[in-house]
Amino acid sequence: MAVITDSTGEKLWQLRTRTESLKKWLVWFSVLVVAAVAWRYVSANTQWIFVVDSPRQAADLFGRMVPPRISYIGRLWGPLWDTINIATLGTLVALVIAVPLAFLAARNTTPHPLFRTVALFIIAFSRSVNSLIWALMLVMIIGPGLLAGIIAIGIRAIGFISKLLYEAIEEVNREALEAITATGARRSQVIFFGVVPQILPALAGIAVFRWDVNIRESTVVGLVGAGGIGLYLNHAINRMAWPDAAAILIVIFLMVLSSEWVSSKARHAII
């Protein structure tokens, strides 16, 4: 395909030059080598005896989970409410910190480049560590419970919200700011009357989007003791009460689907 020849076998046209094909080939070759090395590593750390047995285990697990204990769902309203609270209050905690942080991090609103660097560092750090790890540490510090979950979800969300928000701030329409400056407005007035109205829809969209992600993440922070429905999932698995675990999974599934629906409706209403 990549080479067209005439009837005598003389080359008429070729898709890539030799160096180009060589480069392409080299890229594929190195991908293969890296993959092979990585696979060897995974394979060496795997107990293959258990994996060979896995179809039977999967069938066994499925058999134990079905039918789910639907009556157990009645007892899950409390943890469900807790989970929603972890996500929602966590989002609010994050917003309180993330919004000022975004103004410090945006090039056009930061009071000093030094603040910007520090803010960017905080954003990067918060974003790089998963909420479950934050929860793990917070449970050790302030003890198990909802509060640890709320703060963990909050800390993780700060970076996410701040990053998207400061990018929105950097993209505001400069002419509006200039117009307000021309009326003799102070810097704080320019930000309040010029920047804030422009980024408010973006902020609302980001917050709702993150809330949706937070619902998903707050279903598992309970695994390390930070409250919510994950705590019950953990108990059910430790007791090997698989019909209960299946019921919890169904509840989580429905909750995440509805939060996704709510968040997409809300975002459509805003934009």
In degrees to the nearest 10, what's the CA dihedral of 215, 216, 219, 224?
-110
Using rule CB under 8 A, residue 8 touches other proteins = no
Please say whether the beta carbons of 221 and 133 come within 8 A.
no
Bridge partners of 4? Answer: 13
Please say whether the beta carbons of 149 and 222 come within 8 A.
yes
Using rule CB under 8 A, residue 150 touches other proteins = yes
Using rule CB under 8 A, residue 140 touches other proteins = yes
Using rule CB under 8 A, residue 128 touches other proteins = yes
- φ, ψ dihedrals at 4, nearest 5°: -110, 130
Q: Closest CB to other proteins among 110 and 149?
A: 149
| Cβ neighbours around 138 below 10 Å, total | 25
Q: Using CB under 8 A, which of 30, 71, 130, 264 touches other proteins?
A: 130
Q: Closest CB to other proteins among 55 and 113?
A: 55
Q: Closest CB to other proteins among 9 and 78?
A: 78
Give CA–CA dist 227/234, Å, rounded. 11
In DSSP notation, 28-45 reads: HHHHHHHHHHHHHHHHHT
Q: Closest CB to other proteins among 8 and 67?
A: 67
Using rule CB under 8 A, residue 209 touches other proteins = no
What part of residues 158-187 is at the interface with other proteins (CB under 8 A)? none
Q: Could you tell me which of 218, 80, 202, 200 has the C-alpha nearest to residue 151?
A: 218
Using rule CB under 8 A, residue 137 touches other proteins = yes
In the bound complex, what is the minimum distance in angstroms from residue 28's beta carbon to other proteins? 12
Q: Using CB under 8 A, which of 73, 185, 237, 262 touches other proteins?
A: 237
In the bound complex, what is the minimum distance in angstroms from residue 61's beta carbon to other proteins? 6
Q: Indicate the burial class of 206 (C-beta count within 10 angstroms; 0-12, 13-18, 19 or more).
A: buried
What part of residues 66-85 is at the interface with other proteins (CB under 8 A)? 81-82, 85
Q: Could you tell me which of 76, 57, 71 has the C-alpha nearest to residue 240?
A: 57
In eight-state DSSP terms, residue 85 is H
What part of residues 95-114 is at the interface with other proteins (CB under 8 A)? none
Q: Which residues bind other proteins (CB under 8 A)?
A: 31, 34-35, 37-39, 41-43, 45-47, 50-51, 54, 57-58, 61, 81-82, 85, 88-89, 92, 124-125, 128-130, 132-133, 136-137, 140-143, 145-147, 150, 192-193, 196-197, 200-201, 204, 216-217, 219-220, 223-224, 233, 237, 249, 252-253, 256-257, 260, 270
